[in-house]
Amino acid sequence: MIKRWFRREDPARVRVLMVCMGNICRSPMAEAVLRAKLVRAGLAAEVAVDSAGTHGFHKGAQPDPRAVAQAQRRGYSLQGQKARPLVADDFERFDLLLAMDRDNLDTLHERCPPPARDRLRLLLSFAPAGATDEVPDPYYGSIAGFDHALDLIEPACDGLLRDLQRRLAESP
């Protein structure tokens, strides 16, 4: 059963927050990938997606140009996204807060009120079983790191989409 943690005026039935450290690479890409998959599945009005960073040092910045370019090459748009820090209200507003790696998941656990901790997960927990459960941060690497991040994010978002479809079908 899906609980409505978000504001009543929001028409979405489920809200998902993608979380990384600075909110300029991994979480914006994950937001764009899931958003595109929701549109293709006809669920864009049912599921709201946003992203945030556990650290606010890029607040207001656009996504990294390498993230924008590599996502665009695969048909995903990061247009209009701006980095924002995670805020306390996010733990109330979102039904799922999905971290890109264990460090950011640990930070979420530290900041999250105990009753909401069941909403915290790694994004890759929705991916098919693989060698890793973390999306590595491509920021200090080459463009290949952004492609690798997308290679991990895309199947995880496919699994997440299936989970969301199941949740929506089960809830009134």
The dihedral formed by the CA atoms of 108, 82, 59 and 96, expressed in degrees to the nearest 10: -10
- Which of 13, 15, 25, 26 does the annotation list as catalytic? 26
Q: Is 8 an annotated catalytic residue?
A: no
Q: Is 137 an annotated catalytic residue?
A: yes
- Which of 35, 112, 137, 157 does the annotation list as catalytic? 137
- Which of 13, 20, 66, 90 does the annotation list as catalytic? 20
Q: Is 26 an annotated catalytic residue?
A: yes
Catalytic residues: 20, 26, 137
